[in-house]
Structure 1
Amino acid sequence: FGFNVNEWRDVGTFWKSREDPDAPFPIALAMGLDPALMIAAGVKTPVDELFIAGAIRGRGIEVCRGRTVDVDIPAAAEIVVEGLLHPAQREMEGPLAEFHGYHGEAWNSPTFEVTCISWRDDPIYQTIIPGWYEHVYIGNVLPREPLLRRFVRHLDPSAEVHIPPYGNGFLALIQIERDNPGTPKNLAMAAMAAHINIRNVIV
């Protein structure tokens, strides 16, 4: 089936950094996870998400190896789908419900070949309602706000930032003590550089 790979997500980064970007590579999709893992997975950071989730929980995250792929998988996952991502094999996927409440266009996505599906007894399938606030919080607010804060505070360490859910990830709010006329413009430019989808900034 089609597998949407956004270039700004970790899967896209792993794919592009490989010696042969067209060669298949192993992936495990884990569903029904500890909320700490869900939060960590949504944050764009160079730090391993398992470390972040462990810090949130106050203890390490137990992992196990896949049955058919050489990948670490959260041991407490309810459902795990293992397989190979084939970047060179493409398939049209979508249109799908998007975070802004509308259907997005169809994507020419890499294909995913399933090699194994595992589940716990009486598994709980956990999901979100696409195109609604859960989608906005996990996909837009959580990964972008820490990145926005880092970019903006590089210029003004006392600045406060927020990506409100009603802006669907396209709006950034910045609060500062204005010291000179050029500061708001510089902070707005830094905010837009923080993420590809930030298009409007209020300082």
Structure 2
Amino acid sequence: AFGLVPTPYVSSVWSSIASWGLEQIGDYGAFWYQAALAGSYYAPAFDSPDDGTALLTALTKCDMDSWCSGLTEDNLTMTRESWHAGTYSHEWGTSPIVGVAWGLMGVQQTSPGWESFRVRPKLGDLGHASIAIPTIRGFVNVSASRGQLSVHVPCNSAAQLCLPRSAADRALLTPRTTRLLLDGVEVPAVASGGHLCASRSLGCGEADAPRHLSAQPRAE
């Protein structure tokens, strides 16, 4: 994001950081770790190589350095300050929201007041996921599965929509190999961060209906 790592080494440096996991970063650093994996607006020039696998592992693992352990070991009903110490009512423990909303579902605000946003899901091993995110302009409802995306875009905003990535992908989708369909009609597409995206920002559908993206292989 800041140009400190030469381009040829970005992938290997990212892999090293991802391999640290929460064990080397801790609950306090989990927010930034998940934000980095998500490629959030804290690093707008960086597209994470993660297909969602590292994020999903961090969110769902159940060892001592995990949110799951708070349920199994500490019988929590509220988020805690650190893995097994500190207070048991603390906002630091809410950072999984970042991993789910920014990361797995890929919903990221790109201008003040949600005038614009993007949706680039990274599903990992998930077959399907959905989320409803409240914004000042209305709810952003997202439903994603491999090769499919459905998004309710508030009519007073605009969104860049991209097909999800997942661990099941055999190859990255590109405009050369894949037709991108918006509400069943082919539209111009661009490759961005390993995703296949509509080339222009989109508003709400007819009668405020969700917008649907899907992929179709090009004939050889």
User: TM-score range, shorter-chain basis?
Assistant: under 0.3
Normalising by structure 2, report the TM-score. 0.24
Q: Larger relative CO (CA 8 A, sep 6+): 1 or 2?
A: 1
Bigger radius of gyration, 1 or 2?
1
